[in-house]
């Protein structure tokens, strides 16, 4: 005789269900990434409204958003942002491409590495913006000098990361390539470049951040366009809200560029995807 047991139903109280939902949300990285800036902005607004923060130097987020809305209504703000983006991207490409090529060559050739390492080690610690006066003397006050200073700043970040990636390749892979009589170009293309890609993208992420920092500083000189110029000009006329608008756009550019590089890396370096993460989640 088969005995049918009654199905047990468990009624979950609303407060317990709410706590469970909150715990699940807190464990999600995307949720925390959204909540943290909102909490910061709310705290900032409260501190200004209660007088604990001087509104002359730290205007409330609500007033900054109103200023952003007013400035966004004209095309001038977007022209400033466009100049900054174009200078950053052109300088990034000019610096990153030769850095990857030279990093791979230095990583695979001990003689080239021994020859160039002292020069790289001597120039790398120099603050790149300190070279800007010299670069302006050589290339003038136009766009070229800004591209070059960004390229120089990006070059060393990407070079060091690429070199580290190639040097850390397991020797057995290079030995296998030698056994199969692979040419130097084949070794570069099929072994060195794929193995160093995670390091290269780390260099790209460092480089794009450095590019944005340097271009904002460079826009203080010899131009009247760019977010760096907006920040500098706002300081001169004490328009703090305009300054914060430009700072917000700079921060947004930095975040979006890092996000874009992360997506490109996941597409080109799928084996670096975190374990346990399913495609499409």
Residues 6 or more apart from 96 whose CB is under 8 A from it? 154, 155, 158, 203, 204, 207
Question: What is the rounded average pLDDT for all residues in the chain?
Answer: 81
* pLDDT confidence of residue 237: 82
pLDDT of residue 277: 46
- More confident of the two residues 18 and 262: 262
Query: What confidence score (pLDDT) does residue 84 get?
Result: 93
- CA angle, corner 241, sides to 236 and 244, nearest 5? 90
pTM for this model (two decimals): 0.77
Give the per-residue pLDDT at 234. 86
What is the four-CA torsion angle of 220, 226, 227, 232, rounded to 10 degrees? Answer: 30
pLDDT range class, residue 83, cuts 50, 70, 90: very high
Q: Does the pLDDT value for residue 72 go beyond 50?
A: yes
Task: Give the pLDDT mean for 45-57.
Answer: 83
């Amino acid at each position: 005789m088969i005995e049918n047991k009654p199905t047990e139903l468990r009624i979950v109280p609303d407060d317990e269900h709410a706590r469970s939902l909150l715990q699940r949300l807190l464990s999600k990285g995307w949720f925390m990434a959204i909540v943290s800036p909102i909490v910061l902005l709310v705290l900032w607004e409260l501190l200004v409204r209660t007088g604990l923060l001087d509104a002359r130097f730290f205007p409330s987020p609500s007033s900054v958003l109103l200023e952003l809305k007013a400035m966004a209504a004209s095309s001038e703000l977007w022209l400033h942002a466009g100049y900054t983006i174009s200078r950053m991207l052109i300088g990034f490409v000019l610096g990153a491409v030769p850095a990857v090529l030279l990093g791979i060559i230095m990583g695979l050739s001990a003689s080239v590495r021994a020859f160039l390492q002292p020069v790289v080690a001597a120039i790398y610690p120099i603050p790149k913006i300190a070279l800007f006066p010299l670069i302006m003397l050589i290339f003038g006050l136009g766009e070229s000098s800004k591209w070059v200073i960004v390229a120089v700043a990006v070059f060393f970040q990407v070079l060091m990361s690429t070199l580290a990636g190639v040097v850390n390749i397991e020797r057995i892979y290079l030995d296998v390539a030698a056994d199969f009589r692979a040419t130097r170009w084949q070794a570069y293309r099929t072994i060195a470049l794929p193995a160093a890609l995670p390091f290269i993208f780390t260099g790209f992420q460092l480089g794009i951040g450095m590019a944005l920092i340097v271009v904002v500083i460079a826009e203080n000189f010899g131009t009247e366009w760019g977010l760096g110029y907006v920040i500098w000009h706002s300081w001169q006329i004490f328009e703090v809200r305009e300054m914060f608008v430009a700072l917000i756009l700079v921060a947004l550019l930095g975040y979006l560029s890092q996000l874009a590089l992360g997506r490109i890396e996941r597409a080109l370096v799928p084996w670096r995807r975190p374990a346990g993460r399913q495609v499409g989640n």
